[in-house]
Amino acid sequence: GAVVSQHPSRVICKSGTSVKIECRSLDFQATTMFWYRQFPKQSLMLMATSNEGSKATYEQGVEKDKFLINHASLTLSTLTVTSAHPEDSSFYICSAGGQGDQPQHFGDGTRLSIL
Amino acid sequence: AQSVAQPEDQVNVAEGNPLTVKCTYSVSGNPYLFWYVQYPNRGLQFLLKYITGDNLVKGSYGFEAEFNKSQTSFHLKKPSALVSDSALYFCAVRDIAGRRALTFGSGTRLQVQP
């Protein structure tokens, strides 16, 4: 079945660091990928829709300069958390697919901890 | 706007007993409905979907779900629970005519006791 790979699985870094998270579709092409954020014991909140070859579409309240998204190829989208602070600590999950009646497929998530 | 409600934060059931995890939805048009399961520190795994047709949908690991249009519900069920079914379950919806991003419910933690 369709597989989405997300890397790294865990990041611990100092405040002020920028962190890049990669999301790859391994056996299919994805013109659109989605980035979600999940707080402890809460649901997934859509942050942005990543569009191959064009600008990402951000949800209301998500800072586009803070969360940079690049979707340079049909199999790779990256999320960069710039100048990360402790409040950015969270679980970030990407997904791809979902065209028509097909389900989205999710990466295993990235646990980001900012000290 | 579309929304999903999962009224139970946690469901406890004994191993071997049937389980139900509730979900109701709201969309402006016709829905695509999904159930996903999440294990600790992992992404979401697809369980099953309702698109059209038969209201009873069968999915992975013995799970099934019943679509009820009049009650706008899509409850997840399994005839006999396993301890290994213990996890976090999410119901999700998207409007057929709308954008592809899913709207998720708040999640229900299923605890199956041996």
Beta strands B73-78 and B64-68, pairing class: antiparallel
Whether the CA torsion B72, B34, B109, A33 is positive or negative: it is negative
CA distance B39 to chain A (A): 10
Angstrom distance (rounded) from CA B58 to CA B65:
7
* B25-68 residue pLDDT tens: 998 888 899 999 999 888 899 999 999 888 999 999 999 999 99
Q: Closest approach of chain B CAs to the CA of A17, in angstroms?
A: 23
The CB-side HSE value for A8 (13 A sphere, CA atoms) comes to 9
List, in order, residues 6 or more apart from A63 with CB less than 8 Å away.
none
Q: Which residues of B touch A44 (CB under 8 A)?
A: 44, 90, 104
Res. A1: pLDDT tops 80: no
Find the length of chain A: 115
pLDDT value, residue B40:
86
- Tell me the per-residue pLDDT of A16-54, one tens digit each, with 9 for 90 and over: 999 999 999 998 888 899 999 998 878 899 999 999 988
* B60-100 pLDDT tens trace: 999 999 999 999 999 999 999 999 999 999 999 988 777 77
* Contact yes or no for B43 and A32 at CB 8 A: no
pLDDT for the residue A97:
83
